[in-house]
Amino acid sequence: MTQEPSNDPKLLLGRYELFDEIAVGGMATVHIGRLSGPAGFAKPVAVKRLHRHLAGDPEFVSMFLDEARLAARVRHPNVVATLDVVEYGEEVLLVLDYIEGEALSKLLKAAVRRGERIEPEVVVAIIAGALHGLHAAHEATDERGEPLGIVHRDVSPQNIIVGVDGVPRVLDFGIAKGTGRIQTTRDGQLKGKLRYMAPEQVARGDVDQRADIYAASVVLWETLTGTRLLEGDNEAQLINAVIAGDLRKPSEVVPELAPFDDLVMRGLAPNPDDRFATAYDMAVALEEQVVPARAHAVGNWVRKAAEDSLLTRKRRVAMMEGTPIRSSPLASQGTPSSLRIVTDRTSSSLTDGNVFGDPTSAGTPEAKREPKRRWIWGVALLFAALLLVFGYREYSRSDGARSYRVAASAPVVAPSETAAPSETAVPADAGVAAASASAEPVVSPEQLGKPRPNPVAARPRPTKKKPEPKPKPDVTAKPTKPKDDKAKRCANPIMVGPDGIKRIKPGCE
């Protein structure tokens, strides 16, 4: 039962306004909502609102937040995008991308009412797209790149929405299995729809991604034939039918569907090892069996099959967009600390964690302290800049004075011996005078019209004295023997030999 359209939002919470209900489930109600922002920004969204009587139950709140954490890690065109999660007091909201379309379950019912079967090409486009979305969920990783091991566990026509753009999308990861979940399934507790559960899910509860492949195969079977795969008056009969695994082929209901028998029955194999290894493999096999319809053909079929419901919802959205954007009371009263956005594995305040930058955060205590912090930082930066300026000036002055003292006390170097006679030594007292004279030269009136001489060019350069060449030795002269002075050598003619015997020196006999 749906409510009458209303111009008044049912709830104002931060940037979000909740309007009419569009769907009601056992755990939450889905509203048409509006996400607003500065400069007139507004966008329709779908807001999943946890039932008030369940908001106080930690188990259901954990399931709700787990859905957001897991779904936020799945980024694929065939998966409904999760935009935000807000928890405020007893309100827990899951904000999703608004899709103009209809659930596959309602599209199937509309086709049955008209006595029509959906064209196989359209069926392949819808189921193959959903399988691609499931594969993206199965391969999702956390922020560290570790596999999350997501298993949807509730693949059914109710959780596949087909847009007027012709794109099928998987939604509702509320009972999905994943390594990042806070809430876990209790022993003996079944979660999901029995008609679409795999035998191992019913018998043991231990599932992997192949359980989703089984459920997708049931959806494929029912979408092709237009009838239910399993019949039962109660849950016990359905459980027995699932475990028995005695399933009909599609061609037993519609003979024209014989080409799909092998593919569908492989997906419905009781043993998980006999099924497709991945959802991607099944999607590719399905697309190779029949060429899927183009997106515009699927979109036209959706418009025709759900014409009335789409028109009603379109009017509601138009009515919502025509309503002036109202400011949330949180903007004037300050956002309580309990209002927070929940991301992958952590929760933080809405003002800190909201990737959209909530304009109402200006009323939060944190936002009120922000201008004061900016003022303090501005004064500190100005003070630091002044210190740098004055310090630089003092340094420049001290450095100039030190240079002046060094120049004034520098010794005067006397001219070298080889310098020209015109160069004379400069007295030490003339150093300062020369420096000041060179800084501000005085020019007489007679010299104003004459070019000034270049003092560097006019100064004579010292000349270096060339060394005298050394005389070359006369190579033609014969060497002369030194004269033997016999008289001096023989003045003492006696010498003592090595044997101690005295002898006369040779040549002195």
Instruction: State the catalytic residues.
Output: 154
Q: How far apart are CA 198 and CA 210, in angstroms?
A: 9
Q: And the tokens for 203?
A: 């018998």
Look up residue 153 and give its two tokens: 């566990």
Which of 476-505 are b and which e, b meaning 16 or more Cβ less than 10 Å from the residue's Cβ? Answer: eeeeeeeeeeeeeeeeeeeeeeeeeeeeee
C-alpha to C-alpha distance for 381 and 388, rounded to whole angstroms: 11
- Closest of 132, 102, 302, 270 to residue 200, by C-alpha: 270
CA nearest to 335, candidates 90, 94, 14, 87? 14
Find all residues with CB under 8 Å of 393, minimum gap 6, and list them. Answer: none
Helix, strand or coil, per DSSP, at residue 498: coil
Q: Which amino acid is at 55?
A: A
Residue 503, beta-bridge partner list: 495
- Among 130, 112, 125, 124, smallest CA distance to 215 is for 130
- Can you tell me whether residue 14 is helix, strand or coil? coil
Residue with tokens 């053909």: 297
Give the 3-state secondary structure of 38-74.
Answer: HHHCEEEEEEEEECHHHHCCHHHHHHHHHHHHHHHCC
Length of the chain: 509
Token output for 244: 């028995």
